[in-house]
Structure formats: structure tokens, C-alpha cells
Amino acid sequence: MNSENLKFDAIVIGGGIAGLQAAIDLGDQGYKVAIIEKNPSIGGNMIRLSKVFPTLDCASCITTPKMAQAAHHKNITLYTYTEVKKLSTKGNKYIVGAVKKPRFVDEDKCIGCRQCEINCPVLVPDPEQGNFVAKKAISIPFSNAIPQIAYLDTQWCMLCGKCAKVCPKDAVDYFQKPVNMEFESDVVIMATGFKLTSLEDKRQYGQGKLKNVITSLQMERLLAPHGPYNRVLRPSDGKEPESIAFIQCAGSRDKSMGIEYCSRICCMYSIKQAMLLSGALPLADLTIYNMDIRAFGKGYEQFYQNAIAMGIEFVRAKVAYLTQGEEDKVIVHFEDQTTGEKIQREHDLVVLALGAVPEMDNLEGFQGISCGYDNFIHSINPNIDPALLGKQGIYGAGCCIGPKDIVDTISEAGNAAMQASIFLARKKEEK
């Protein structure tokens, strides 16, 4: 394996909205920054969303310009498809160890023409579209991905050679190997984000076996302008659902899952999705089963009240379990918390507000930082300096510290960048 040695003022780990914002803020101040992102494109979870609460702005219209700003910034260098595995110190420097995964496409040669993708004969599930539709074994990850460079998934490729044959730049390289990389910097910003618990985790909710039970991120894709079908259809038969239910806390505030905390974002995104659905499917019945609605942010209570006024039904209930009904319907079994009555109701489509957990839940090999009681990265003094994760020079922002909305993520990113720039300026003065 090759090794590279790269020096920056700051290294930002994670190219979601937190990492992009922190890098742009530092880059604008003249610091040399590297963003290291493990996926083939930057953008994180936000680029997968439809619209965002509470303003209902288009998510991709906000995220894409930020992605482009970071990618074209003269002080920012992007390292995509590169996963950070280690963090250590050497003197007063941070050393970040990462592995550049093989794309099997030469990044310097690829021009993003998609000829390989068009000609590849192998169809595989597309995770960027909630696995509802297929993509090719070699592809550009999604239409507004940055960088526009193809990557080949060896899990599916049958090595037929077609992509290499049609590539006008001779960029396909089946022999690429992982490359170990070592970065050096004065500060590090952790922005590694979150993921949702899996559909399979929740035995009572069908464990992923009920076809018309989907995740909240899958619903985001169904509602997105460049979604899989450009319409909201239920997976089992492609029909427009007439009755859609949202089940809150389907993985949060739940001892059986080991996730006792509130994931904070789910009440609001389910209300948002129900509102968007009332526009997309005006005749559909929309029900949100919840223990209580947590509308904590500025304008959020009004957003919730608007949803009630629009006719979205809020049922106070902890859903016990889901079963398969007739004609692919899903039966929701719950106890109404206001009457104590045990009730069953049928819906065409059910959306689970799964729990938010850290994307990186194992900090072994990451010197100087640790996980808190909830497995998210521990902020050592949240009331005084929420960005500080360990000794001066290592900061955090966004959902890697705990689940939160975009407004809080962006403010934390600005704070982490500010703390980092003060630290860098002091270091310069000391020299």
C-alpha cells in the first residue's frame, strides 16, 4: 500500500452540512483545510432530504451550493471515498490516518461523462434512492454529486469489461488498491454525523419484512424532486397510498433498543413529511402516532399547529406492533393514551421515525476524544464550550455530538470553526 503525507492548518472529518460549513468558515479566513469524506460524494444526509422544516425550502437547493462552494474554494481540498480510521498526536500536531478506498476509476482522468454507467449491464439497488430503484454497478453516485466521478461497486460487478471499453478517458482501473493516507494538522474538526437505526432492528414493527413499512429517509426520497418515481407510491404494488401513518419514537426513547434519548429531529420531520404529502396526495388520510410532539425550535410550534389546521391527525399512542393486513395494508396495533383503549387501524403505507445514532460509534484509535453515555462524541463542557471535545485543537459540530436539526448543526459548525481559528491564531502568535 502507498502512503501519502499531507499537511493542513485544519482537517475536517465528514463532508455533511456541518463539515462543509466549518471548512468554508475556516477557508474564508485564509486557513488551509482538508475535508475528508468516506462516501464517494460530499453532502451527507442533508443532500438526501426533500424539503426542510420549518421553512419548507428545497434541501438540495441549499446543500448543492454549499457543496460547490467547498469544492471550488481555493483553501479547501476534498478527499472523498476516504475513511478516517485513526487520530493521534505528534508533538503539538494532530495526525489523521485514513484509507482512500478504490473507486476503480482514476479520479484524475474521469470526466463524469457516464458512458460507463450507461453501458454497464448490471443493475443494483440504489441506496441514494432508498433502494426503491436500481442503478448500475458503476455509476456517478447521484445527479448533483460532488465530485462528478464514477465509482465501481465490486460487490456487484461481473468484470465484463464493458465500462473500460467505452470509457473515452481510459479511466477505469480494475486493479486499484486501497491507499493509506496520513494527514497532519494543527486542528481537527469532527463532523461525522449520524445514521438511522435499521428497519430490521425493531422486531415489533415487522423487522423490515412488511413491504409497506418504510423508513423516514425513504419517505424523504419519495417526496424529493429527483426522487425514484417523481411521485409517492407504495412499494408493494406501485399504487398511490390513500392512508399513510407515521410512527414516532420507532427507535428512540426505547429501552429495548438501548436508545433512551429523544432523537430530536423526528417529530418535526414527520410533521413536515405529512404536510408535503397533503400537497402531493390531497385526498390521503395522514396520521401521526406519537407519545407527545416535541416542537422545540423557533417557529416549530407554529409549524405543528399549521399541520393540525391542515387536517393531519395526531394520535397520542405508543404503537405496540405492526402486522400484515389484507391487500398489502399494514395493521397498526396501539393503545390510545387518552382513553386507554386498545385499537387496531389499517393503513396503506407506514413510515417509521427510526432512532438517530452516531455514524461513527467506535472511537477506538481516536486519541483524546470519547463517546458519551449515548454513544455520541462527548463534548467535555457543553455549557461553556460545546465544540471542545478534548484538549484545545479538537472540536466537533453537528450530529456527531448528538442528533439535531440543520439550524443547530450550522450554528455549531460556525462555533467549531471560530474556536479553531482562535486556536490557530494564538498558535501563530506564539511562534
Q: Which residues bind ligand SF4 (CB under 6 A)?
A: 105, 110-116, 120, 122, 137-138, 150, 152, 157-163, 167, 169, 171-172
Cell of 430: 506564539
Q: Minimal distance in Å, beta carbon 115 to ligand SF4?
A: 4
Provide the strand spans (E) within 337-408.
Answer: 342-347, 349-354, 356-358, 394-396
**DSSP per-residue string spanning 238-264:** -PPPSEEEEEEEESSSBGGGTB-S--S
Q: Minimal distance in Å, beta carbon 162 to ligand SF4?
A: 4
212 Cβ partners below 8 Å, 6+ apart?
Answer: 234, 235, 236, 241, 328, 329, 330, 348, 349, 350
Residue 271 has, within 13 A of its CA and on its CB side, a CA count of: 26
Strands 194-196 and 356-358: antiparallel
Report 184-203 residues binding ligand FAD (CB under 6 A).
191-194, 196
Only segment of 107-115, 215-223, 340-348, 377-385 that touches ligand FAD (CB under 6 A): 215-223
| One residue of 284, 352, 406, 424 binding ligand FAD per CB under 6 A | 406
Q: Does 357 bind ligand FAD (CB under 6 A)?
A: no
Q: Minimal distance in Å, beta carbon 21 to ligand FAD?
A: 8
Which of ligand SF4, ligand FAD, none sits in contact with 272, Cβ below 5 to 8 A by type? ligand FAD
| One residue of 36, 62, 95, 116 binding ligand FAD per CB under 6 A | 36
Element (H, E) at 34: strand 33-36
Query: Does residue 325 sit in helix, strand or coil?
Result: coil
CB 340, CB 348: distance < 8 Å: no
- The C-alpha torsion from 415 through 361 and 37 to 56, rounded to 10°, is -60
Only segment of 123-131, 144-152, 403-411, 423-431 that touches ligand FAD (CB under 6 A): 403-411
Which of ligand SF4, ligand FAD, none sits in contact with 38, Cβ below 5 to 8 A by type? ligand FAD
Only segment of 42-50, 165-173, 331-339, 423-431 that touches ligand FAD (CB under 6 A): 42-50
Cell of 100: 482512500
Q: Minimal distance in Å, beta carbon 408 to ligand FAD?
A: 7
- Smaller CB separation from ligand SF4, 122 or 371: 122
Interface with ligand FAD (CB under 6 A) = 13-19, 36-39, 44-46, 49, 52-53, 83-84, 191-194, 196, 216-217, 220, 265, 269, 272, 359-360, 398-399, 404-407, 409
